[in-house]
Structures are given as C-alpha cells and as structure tokens.
Structure 1
Amino acid sequence: MPEYVIEREMPGVGDTDAAGLKGASQTSCNVLRDLGPDIQWVHSYVTPDKIYCIYRAPSEELIKTHAETAGFPANSISEIKALISPMTAE
C-alpha cells in the first residue's frame, strides 16, 4: 500500500501539552476507525509550527477525507517513493 507524508501547518502546535496531543490523536483514531481498514496512521513528528504525518492509504483522496473529517489541515500530501537512511550507504 502506498505511504504518504502529510504536512500540516498548525502555528504553535509544538507548545501543545500532552493532553492536547492525546486529544488530537484520539480524534484522528476515531475518524480512522470510521473510514475503515484501508487507511493507517503510522506516526507523526511535531515541530514548532507543523506536524508531519506518515500514513498508509490506497489514495491521496482518502487522506484528504480523513483530514477534512477530523478537522486537521493537510497543506501538502506527497507519496513516499523511497526510504533512505545511513543503511542505504552500505
């Protein structure tokens, strides 16, 4: 299944406390449950003003549906074509 990186512009999100992040995670998981097994949230990186999320889904459209339903921005959605790391150099 294709993987995507989603960039969410959310000014100040890096200052969100643990309870706020938990609430956002619960919202996302509830919407994912309603959308069914074809979409999966892998993990996210929270930075001062953005969240970068990794998702598995059959299409970009399903990711957009998740974002709209959950009330989260999806400023850019890019399909991941390859994964590299220091291990790639070996």
Structure 2
Amino acid sequence: MPLFIIEREYAERVDPYLGAFDEINEINADEGIRWLYSFLSLDRRKSYCLYEAPSAEMILSAAAAAGLPADRVTEVVGRILPSGALEPVV
C-alpha cells in the first residue's frame, strides 16, 4: 500500500491525549487508511504523520472527518539511509 507524509499545521499548541486517538483510528479504518506514527514539532504547532493509504484523497477525507488539518500530503517512494542507499517502500 502506498505511503504518505502528512504535514499538519495547527493554530494552537497540540497537547495529545489518549482518548482522541481511538476516534481518529476508527475514522481512519472507515476510510481504509492506517496511521503509522507522527512527529511533533518542538513548539507543538506542526506534526508530520506517516500513513498507509490507497490515495491522498482518502487521507484528506479522513482528516476532514476527524477535524484535523492536512496542509500537505506527499506520497513517498522510499527512504534514503545514512549510507546513501535508497530503501524502496514495499
């Protein structure tokens, strides 16, 4: 399944709490996508999330249903390792 990086910009500082994640994961499952993990910026106003999804449109739909921003959605083909090797997404 294709991988996507989602960049989210928040107007307020994000303070994640466990209760919110169940609802987000349910919405994602309904859309046929899977949230793998996220990085949160030091100021807690931006996150970078890695998702598996059939399409960017499905990610945008799930984000809208969850009330989350999805400012940039970028499909990725692999990751570059410190050795310089490209490891393709499988």
> Which residue matches 1:2?
2
Partners of 1:66 and 1:34 in 2: CA distance? 8
For 1:44, which of 17, 22, 38 is the aligned residue? 38
The structure 1 segments of at least 4 consecutive aligned residues displaced by more than 2 Å after TM superposition are none
Partners of 1:87 and 1:25 in 2: CA distance? 35
- Supply the AA of the counterpart residue of 1:72: L
Per-residue displacement from partner, 1:14-68 (whole Å, max 9, x unpaired)? xx1xxx4323322211212332xx3111111111210110001110010001100
Query: How many percent of aligned residue pairs carry the same amino acid?
Result: 38
Partners of 2:25 and 2:34 within 8 A in 1: no
- Supply the AA of the counterpart residue of 1:7: E
Partners of 2:6 and 2:73 within 8 A in 1: yes
SS at match of 2:27: helix
Structure 2: gaps (5+ residues): 86-90
- Supply the AA of the counterpart residue of 1:55: Y
Q: Greater RCO between the two (CA within 8 Å, min separation 6)?
A: 1
TM-score (norm 1): 0.79
Structure 1: gaps (5+ residues): none
TM-score (norm 2): 0.79
User: Whose helix fraction is larger, Structure 1's or Structure 2's?
Assistant: 1
Partners of 1:39 and 1:58 in 2: CA distance? 7
Deviation at 1:87, TM superposition (A): 4.4
Partners of 2:18 and 2:9 in 1: CA distance? 18
> Which residue matches 1:57?
53
